[in-house]
Amino acid sequence: MALQQVSLPILGMSCASCAATIEGVLKGIDGVARVQVNVNGGRALVAYEPERVNLARLVAAIQEVGYQVATAQTTLQISGMTCASCVAHVEGALRELEGVLQATVHLGLGLARVEYIPGLVTPAQMIRAVQAVGYEARVQEEGVSALDREREARQREIRRQGLYLLFAAPLALLVMLGTFREYWILPAIVPEWLGYKWVLALLTTPVVLGPGRQFFVNSWRGLRHGVTDMNLLYATGIGAAYGIALINTFFPKAGFGGEGATFFESAALLTAFIVLGRFLEAVTRGRTSEAIRKLMKLQPKRARVLRDGQEIEVPVEEVIVGDLILVRPGEQIPVDGVVVEGYSAVDESMLTGESMPVEKRPGDEVIGGTMNKTGAFKFRATRVGAETALAQIIRLVEEAQASKAPIQKLADWVAGHFILGVHLLAILVFVFWFFVGYERFFDPNSAFLLSPYRLGEIGVFGFSLLLSVTVLVISCPCAVGLATPSAIMAGTGKAAEHGVLFKNAEAIENATKLTTIVFDKTGTLTRGEPSVTDVIAVEGVTPEEVLWWAALAEKNSEHPLGEAVLRAARARGLEIPDAEAFQAIPGHGVEARYQGERILLGNRKLMREHGIDLSGLQPQAEALEREGKTVMFLARSDQALGLLAVADTLKPYAIEAIRRLQAMGLKVVMLTGDNRRTAEAIARQLGIDRVLAEVLPQDKAAEIRRLQQEGHRVAMVGDGVNDAPALAQADVGIAIGSGTDIAKETGHVILIREDLRDVVVALDIARATMRKVKENLFWAFIYNTVSIPIAAGVLYPAFRVVVSPEWAAFLMALSSLTVTLNTLRMRGYVPALRREERATVRAHPVAASAPSGQ
Amino acid sequence: MESMEPIGREIARRSAITYTAISLLAALLFFGAATWKGGYSEVARWGGAAWVFLLSMIVTMPLVTAYYRKRGRRTSIGGA
């Protein structure tokens, strides 16, 4: 049995037992023949059968037992890819390299992301492998320069195809006029010499050998390496039409249909239409990646830094963590940081989707790339370079755009096998019409579809060849291959514009299949800190007095409930003096003394132990407790003064978000460690009817699993750091309120803002994106399903019409363009909630600014 | 890497022989069938056979090359 041997670099081994563990796990894998682990060298030499196990499985097994295989990632810029089969070729070439674990190629971006094991393979080898299958590759440069180069490359392609089009289109038009000069009013305006076959040959030849040359060269380059792509379909189509035309012109008796069936106009128009398609694709394809370009443009270039008391302007790359930076009104914030002096409002809409400027005071975070509006302020840099939120967002969006949705697998498979399949079909069509069809069905009076051109004296070979060529020309794997990635690219970009970051395409697809959405309670639905919600006083005492005395008693307390009381008192502008004595009584409350009077603040037990009569307050206390609130009684000099209720409060827009999700047909569940009564009280306020209460933090993931086992497709919304296991377990984990530290997050979807309604926005965008994917796939598949049989002649026996190659070329170019244009419609898409928000801001600019959610 | 070149050339040579042979066989079958059925002109028979040969080459080239490349890799590794 043939064995493959690799030497894997392993991190984390410290002793012989580590080596034994790794040897043990690797030897246990079916297909592994020999393992030799060298602890000192940090390597494992593995001999395995590549037919039964692959490198990725070996790496995964090592990782499963707690060690890491040193891997690296690189991004290659690939040029020369034109369709989905090119993607399959490049991916195949990269995956065949020993040491490559994963290779994902994105046609729209012209990028290949490769995860590999350094030492086994190098980027230079990857480039050679890509070149070997007929494409150009180079390691991608980061940031704006890469963007500029990519734009330059696209501009060059647009210019090149534009020039070809300018050359091919007029000549093709002349050839068409010459071919049909006997029809309609053409005899009156088209000179006779233009209809001469040799003139048509003279006009067609430069079109085929000029703009059409690229298809012959590219397909030959691919064929030499054993790969086929769209160029081959074009080349065989153009070549066959041109070849028959030449034969029929110079050897009219050869039996290809004679002079009445020259196909010069087919060859010329076919070339012109294909070049038109290439030109339009080059123009439109770049626009689907506009979101990433917009984000990259946000990257500031210079910063005003205060060093040694001097204000100096430096390139943003020279800013270091800890630098004090000055920002004036109208200036862009260069890096991430924390405000230390000054006050301003900052427009963060470009990164968070927040429509209103956000106020910034000392202590507040600012994000690099956002725009300062009104005031000047100084801030201390906390993250620079690749660590800034903007750089992380760009990286995440790029990764998501380059990832593949599960739905794409079918499309990729179809596109990858399409070219071969179509050529095989072309043989079958030819053989059928040659041996059976022509004899049975051919009618000399039959015509081309939408053409006055009669088939006339065309022979069996010419007719069979015509249909075979038309099948090759009309089929369009490009549309199938572009359908999903172009929509995913547009969707992830659109989501980023609204502060929603999908980590990959799978998250988008999964988000559209959800049935249940689970919210963590504390910190997600509620603020996670108690607040005073009710103050009730006995007769003759005001609520302010109750709050004042309670705050006085709690002034030295560090208990969260005490802090809530103090915050409430300060919020009402009450001045609280210091108590003369203070004592915390664990499990009961506090006891304080002021001007000789004893103040008690605590639960029933505390009051009972001091013999305080609470009968006047009991009904209200019980009602508040039923709402899940914690009640604290206040007594002064052994007389009850009143009570205070404290509860965790809902986050802004929580109720609206839940209502909208329910309206979208989702079942909303609340997950919390709180006791059932408190949890149900909060759930009632929110309108949630299913509560999973008293769930320990470590059991949250198990609860999600249980819901999944019940048949639900579950999204979990929570804190990306603390709820990480539950987010990972969910079909879609949504980390909310990540702010600027995106790298820490574990969810499949990251919401930059803390606004719960962004969950609705995320699902809305996911649904719109998948709708677009399905529309694109529908059009691509329906086009090929309908057009190929028609081109193969299924309608001929009944209607006596065939599709001409030039019409086939036009339809083919149109189908691919339809998919791109349909995707481009997403550029104008705004989620419903954002549309309403913008309408509100326009209608009530001041009122809308209050609940900013920040 | 240098030792890979002769192997690569050998794979290319074997592939070319195989797909050309398969395509020629397909073309020959076509020509034989057309001759046996009768009623076709020389141009139709020869032209048809040429078209079948061309399309067969296009279909078999990537399949055969990939097959030999895969086999060659296994053989060279197995021998190492």
Tokens of A761: 């926005």
Q: Is residue B44 part of a domain?
A: yes
- Does this model's pTM top 0.80? no
Yes or no, beta carbons of A2 and B34 under 8 Å apart: no
Compute the distance between CA of residue A671 and CA of residue A703 in angstroms, rounded to an integer: 9
What residue has token string 């060093």?
A307
Q: Is residue B30 part of a domain?
A: yes
Q: Is residue B27 part of a domain?
A: yes
Yes or no, beta carbons of B62 and A226 under 8 Å apart: yes
Q: Which residues of B touch A54 (CB under 8 A)?
A: none
Q: Which residues of A touch B59 (CB under 8 A)?
A: 420, 423-424, 427
Q: Which of B44, B75, B80 sits opposite A255 (nearest CB)?
A: B44
Instruction: Look at chain B and report how many structural domains it folds into.
Output: 1
Cβ-based neighbours of A699, under 8 Å, separated by 6 or more: none
Nearest to A833, CA basis, from A771, A747, A755, A779: A755
Q: What is the DSSP secondary structure assignment for residue A225, as one 8-state letter?
A: T
The per-residue pLDDT for A648 is 81
Q: Which regions in chain A score pLDDT beneath 70? A: 1-2, 12-21, 38-42, 64-67, 82-84, 108, 119, 141-151, 183-184, 222, 224-229, 253-262, 284-292, 353, 355, 402, 416, 450-454, 456-457, 720-722, 737-745, 841-854
Yes or no, beta carbons of A461 and B66 under 8 Å apart: no
Interface of A with B in 37-66 (CB under 8 A): 50-51
Active site residue A148: no
A to B CB pairs, distance under 8 Å: 85
CA distance A173 to chain B (A): 29
Tell me the residue range of the domain where B9 lies: 2-75
Q: Which of A3, A232, A460 sits opposite B40 (nearest CB)?
A: A460
Q: Is residue B80 part of a domain?
A: no
B2 lies within 8 A of chain A by CB: no
The per-residue pLDDT for B23 is 95
A342 lies within 8 A of chain B by CB: no
Yes or no, beta carbons of A256 and B34 under 8 Å apart: no
The per-residue pLDDT for A14 is 56
A225 lies within 8 A of chain B by CB: yes
Q: Which of A50, A223, A255 sits opposite B41 (nearest CB)?
A: A255
**Three-class DSSP category at A512:** coil
Q: Is residue B68 part of a domain?
A: yes
Q: What is the mean pLDDT of chain A?
A: 81
CA distance B75 to chain A (A): 6
Q: Is residue B26 part of a domain?
A: yes
Annotated active-site residue in A336, A347, A412, A520: A520
CB A120 within 8 A of CB A418: no
Q: Which residues of A touch B66 (CB under 8 A)?
A: 226
B38 lies within 8 A of chain A by CB: no
Interface of A with B in 234-293 (CB under 8 A): 236, 240, 254-256
Give the burial class of A626: count Cβ atoms within 10 A of its Cβ; 0-12 exposed, 13-18 middle, 19 or more buried: exposed
Yes or no, beta carbons of A50 and B77 under 8 Å apart: yes
Q: Is residue B10 part of a domain?
A: yes
Question: Which parts of A107-238 are beta strand (E)?
Answer: 111-116, 136-139
Yes or no, beta carbons of A225 and B65 under 8 Å apart: yes
Nearest to A740, CA basis, from A180, A221, A346, A210: A346
The per-residue pLDDT for A629 is 82
